[in-house]
Structure 1
Amino acid sequence: MTEDISFRRKPLTPEQRQARDASRRVEAEKAMRDHEAAQKAFYANKERLRAERLAREAAGAKE
């Protein structure tokens, strides 16, 4: 009752391989841009919150 199912993939042609590699490269570049934008937004928000906290602490110390 054992089924002999082969899951082997057909080899890619050089054109298919180039297309796949180009697609992966574009996706990787987009992922890096998205990551960098998220990092910049995170650090900008972190600095804004830090400045607000320091301003509150300075105002509290004066009272």
Structure 2
Amino acid sequence: MTEDLSFRRKPLTPEQRQARDAARRIEAEKAMRDHEEAQKAFYANKERLRAERLAREAAAAKA
């Protein structure tokens, strides 16, 4: 059985490697920022809902 080696990639030049690594780094930083923003929004909403629940429970306890 013969192997088809036509799918092999050409080796990257050092400049191409640097460009690829820089693009990956930028994408990773953006992903981390997006994740941090989502986490902050989640916890802010969680605290808001907690405060509303505690206010409802306090009002129900008074009634």
Tell me the TM-score normalised to structure 1 length. 0.92
Residue segments in structure 2 that go unaligned for 5+ positions in a row: none
Per-residue CA deviation, residues 10-32 of structure 1 (Å, 9 max, x unaligned), is 00000000000000000000000
Aligned residues: 63
User: Identity of paired residues, percent?
Assistant: 90
SS in 1 for 2:12: coil
Consecutive unaligned residues of structure 1, counting only runs of 5 or more, are: none
* Distance in 1 between residues matched to 2:57 and 2:30, nearest whole Å: 40
Find the aligned partners of 2:4 and 2:22 in 1 and give their Cα distance. Answer: 35
Of stretches 41-50 and 3-12 in structure 1, the one that deviates more from structure 2 is 3-12
- The corresponding residue for 2:54 is 54
Kindly report the root-mean-square deviation, in angstroms, between the aligned alpha carbons of the 2 structures.
Answer: 1.5
